[in-house]
Amino acid sequence: MPAPVVVFAVGNRSRGDDALGPMLLDRLAAVLAAEGRGSRFELIDDFQLQIEHALDLAGRERALFIDAGTGTSAPFSYHAIEPASSVATHSTHALPPEAVLAVYRKLTGCEPPPAFVLCVRGESFELGANLTPAATANLEAAWTHLMQLCREPEFTD
Amino acid sequence: MTFQLETAAHPEKLRRVAIDPVSRVEGHGKVTLLLDENGRVHQARLHIVEFRGFEKFIQGRPYWEVPVMVQRLCGICPVSHNIAASKAFDAIVGATRLTPTAEKIRRLMHYGQIMQSHALHFFHLCSPDLLFGFDSDVARRNIAGVAREHPETARRGVLLRRFGQEVIRVTAGKRVHGTGAIPGGVNKAVTIEERDALLTHVYHMVAWSREAVRLVEQLHTQNPALYNSFGVFRSNMMSLVGTDGALDFYDGALRARTDSGELIFDGVDYRGYDRYIEEEVKPWSYMKFPFLTSLGKEKGWYRVGPLSRIQNCDHIPTPLAEIERRQFLDYCGGTPMHAPLAYHWARMIEMLHAVETIKDLLHDDDILGDDLVTGGPRALEGVGVIEAPRGTLIHHYRVDESDLVTMCNLIVSTTHNNQAMNEAIRNVAKRYLNGHTLTEGLLNHIEVVIRAFDPCLSCATHALGRMPLAVELVDAEGTVVGRLSTDGAATEGGAD
């Protein structure tokens, strides 16, 4: 049986604030291991979302997508998402979370699990750069929110 | 040197249409069209912000870091960069000939990469709305009909991709950002358990890949008028070709043909690539325009990738893919196929070949060996060339006596195809957009032809909120007079 909760963190650790998602995932992994709750969560870290991530949604009760965003309000946004009406893109290079849900629906004929996006505002995505000061602050705010989320009944029961 | 529709005579009098497929932090693509008051196209350009920062970034770094670092260039084809860089550094560590185990594991990894990348494209192809999100027309209905006859195709596309990634995980350690190839060899052996697990599934993958070729062939043969003509342009072709002219994605010599199939050069040692290929800089584009030196800027541009490789080689060294290649050539009637949509067919033949090769390698006990790394006399310069999923990939490095990188030059597949993609969008613009009121469906024709090449946008950065396709219409004064987006939202003022 897959873990009830799947958490995707998307980003490139080598590109400044793009590392926000993977960094949050690292912290989460450490806390879950320390608290002995790792079996309820599967944590997936990747450059970008792709069609096969739809397969990682099977059998889940909840899905959470963590990513850096440039258009989101600071320090972060958190919202439920629904399957996109189309997965159309000009390129095969990446899918937004809503499209991953749509791929799941297309492949299985079933509705995906309730899914949410935690989008942390990033400012700079330069190759080789560290987190910006603003993103570091946003990371802390998002981490507090993520910890609250992971203690809610939907994530713990 | 300018081409037809590359530069308008009086751009200041024309209306500008910008198709901004994705505005990424680093690496993005945009199409701009200049139209007159009657909607006639006077200029069409594809702009892709090429990733050049990396070449600077790694200067001064120890060479052994590079094969790992280059994987950060692209989240879709990190293995390609890892292997091309490792091949270049093989020369620097004096590994002129890898151990059989190392070379076969690298091949396994690389063919897994080709397979997963092509399978991803297959999934997109199996979605009629993705291949042709055109306004309702006969072509779309035909494609939807084909897809209805193959209800399993989308699921198989995903499972094919996942199998390819499993091959990468087994050989590179991780599905993404693995570190399997290193200067002089590989750093991970394949275990019997890993090999056997892959063998359990590989025969299904061969069968499904063959059916994928059938599906794409069916799309072409049901509507040859469309598939053979959409965005068509003639060009030279270039690729690596292996021993005896065989299709080979991992190693070989450079071969180029004219648009009619005659050899321009053959058997060229890729270490001397810079004597055969030059790059032109144009003021309107960040990405360079490579051309074959012997033919010059005007006639020397070329295309790379599946359509070039399938027609450039003499044969495919696996039986089922070779049958499909011959069938494809028969369909072409003995002359080179230039239609961009034929990339899809060629890509599926290559996927079949990749899976057949993976099957053969899994039956080769050399991959279970433990002699992984070799070396020899040091050198200060190395060139590594492979055929990546989208085409020829060149990595060229120099290092100093302290092992630090002093020079890096990368020519990625999308750069080779720069002029070809521009030609394709100009032909589509002329044929479908000229004189028409622009609608989202019509503008999607441009996107369809871009998708055939599947350009790499250096997308190793991912940021939410930067993904939608946006089309902005701007008048001669720079005022936005209309906006469209692919999610159907935010339509203001129409697109005409």
B405 and B426 within one domain: no
Residue B318 sits in the same domain as residue B404:
yes
pLDDT value at residue B462: 41
Looking at the structure, tell me whether residues B78 and B101 fall in a common domain. Answer: yes
Whether residue B92 is contained in a domain is answered as: yes
Q: Domain end: B416, B439, B474, which one?
A: B416
Sorting pLDDT into bands at 50, 70 and 90, what band is B129? low
Q: Is B3 part of a structural domain of the chain?
A: no
- Is the same domain home to B41 and B172? no
Q: To probe the interface with B, which of A127, A131, A138 has the most B CB atoms within 10 Å?
A: A127
How many domains is chain B built from? Answer: 2
Here the ipTM equals: 0.78
Host domain of residue A144: 5-156
CA distances from A157 to A40, B427, B463 (A): 9, 58, 31
Higher pLDDT, A124 or B53: A124
Q: What are phi and psi of B26, to 5 degrees?
A: -135, 120
Check residues B281 and B181 and name the one with the higher pLDDT.
Answer: B181
Tally A–B CB contacts below 8 A. Answer: 143
**Of B456, B484, B486, B483, which Cα lies nearest the Cα of B26?**
B456
Residue B140 pLDDT = 62
Do residue B45 and residue B57 come from a single domain? no
A61 touches chain B (CB under 8 A): no
pLDDT for B6: 77
Work out the minimum CA distance from B79 to partner chain A, whole angstroms. 13
Q: Across A5-14, A78-87, B465-474, which has the greatest mean pLDDT?
A: A5-14
> What's the N-to-C CA distance of chain B in angstroms?
32
Distance CA B31, CA B41 (A): 13
Same domain for B411 and B301: yes
CATH code of the domain covering residue A52: 3.40.50.1450
Domain end, chosen from B367, B382, B416, is at: B416
Quick: pLDDT tens for A48-68: 888 889 999 999 999 999 999
Closest Cα in chain A, distance from residue B159 (Å): 8
Q: List the single residue in B with minimal CA-CA distance to A88.
A: B130
Cα B396 from Cα B66, distance rounded (Å):
12
pLDDT value of residue B491: 29
Percentage of chain A surpassing pLDDT 90? 59
Residues B22 and B33 in one domain: yes
B116 & B243 share domain? yes
The answer to whether the CB of B157 falls within 8 A of the CB of B215 is no
Confidence of residue B176 (pLDDT cuts 50, 70, 90): low
**Cβ-nearest to B463 among A55, A93, A125:** A125
B95 and B30 in one domain? no
Residues B196 and B255 in one domain: yes
Note whether residue B496 is domain-resident. Answer: no
Q: Are residues B15 and B62 located together in one domain of the fold?
A: no
Mean pLDDT of A61-81: 92
Number of domains composing chain A: 1
Supply φ then ψ for residue A146, to 5 degrees: -65, -40
Q: Is B9 exposed, middle or buried (0-12, 13-18, 19+ CB in 10 A)?
A: exposed
Final residue before a domain boundary, out of B416, B450, B465 = B416
pLDDT of residue A124: 85
User: What range does the domain containing B436 cover?
Assistant: 11-49+417-485
Question: Helices A133-149 and A20-35, interaxial angle, to 10°?
Answer: 40
Percent of chain B scoring above 70 in pLDDT: 81
What pLDDT, in 10s, does the model give residues A7-54? Answer: 999 988 878 898 999 999 999 999 999 999 888 999 999 888 888 899
Residues B284-328: pLDDT tens digits? 777 789 999 999 999 999 999 999 999 999 999 999 999 999 999
Is B158–A10 a contact, with Cβ atoms under 8 angstroms apart? no
**pLDDT tens-place string over residues A100-117:** 999 899 888 899 999 999
Residue with tokens 């794409």: B216
Residue of A nearest to B468 (CA): A89
User: C-alpha angle B28/A67/B176, rounded to 5°?
Assistant: 75
Mutate to test the interface with A, among B26, B125, B425, B462 (most CBs of A within 10 A): B462
Q: Are B238 and B321 within one domain?
A: yes
